[in-house]
Amino acid sequence: MTDPQTVRLLPVDDPGREDCIVVGDGDGCVSGVADGMEAVQLDMAGDLLGHAADMLGDCKATFPELHYLARQLSGSLRDVRRVAESRGARLPRRGDGPRMTGFLQVSTATENRAEAVELAQTLVSAGLAAVARIAGPVAAVFRYEGGCGTGEEWQLLLTTRADRYDEVEAHLLAHHPWRKPEVTAVPMVAGAKEYLDWVETATAPE
């Protein structure tokens, strides 16, 4: 199948002819001419909208003048729609970007190592995380009571299934010693199949 990023609809609208489509890398002569035509069409649409606003605000505009304006707006809208269809077709498909694996890395932080280890053990033993990694101490600089605070923290990084995030978050909020702890998650966009299979098995709901 042709990649939609290499296909464009040319900005030429002739009711008596079929659509003109060009296939290429987007850097050819025809594409350059098409880019110029689209730019002109969009500029004309902007100018026409400004003219329409002025005319519609003029109570003395006559019916023939408004009728002519409507015809011009209709033609301009047709051109702009064609530009939108062409450019929209060249956008990456959902599957062209990084693929989500269905797994997350959830992070939080504690004041000391013992608290981080305790949280990690409760999450892993409950099957909410396949593995928990603890690192620290790390320096932290943060906003505190309108000023700047500093301190040391221990970071806790959890690997889990995306469909169990709500449970992981609820567990952390319920068991964390801080009143408003950091609980964030980032998706894993790729990973070794055997490792991800193990994560899926280790965190499968019972």
What dihedral angle (degrees, nearest 10) is formed by the CA atoms of 128, 133, 138, 141? -30
Residues 6+ apart with CB under 8 A from 78: 13
- 159, two tokens: 């690997």
How far apart CA 129 and CA 183 sit, in angstroms, is 14
Quick one: pLDDT band at residue 3, thresholds 50, 70, 90?
Answer: very low
Banded pLDDT at 27 (limits 50, 70, 90)? low
Residue matched to tokens 């797994």: 103
Residues of the chain above pLDDT 90, percent: 39
| Sequence-separated (6 or more) residues with CB below 8 Å from residue 137 | 113, 152, 153, 154
- Whole-number pLDDT of residue 132: 96
The mean per-residue pLDDT over the stretch 139-160 comes to 89
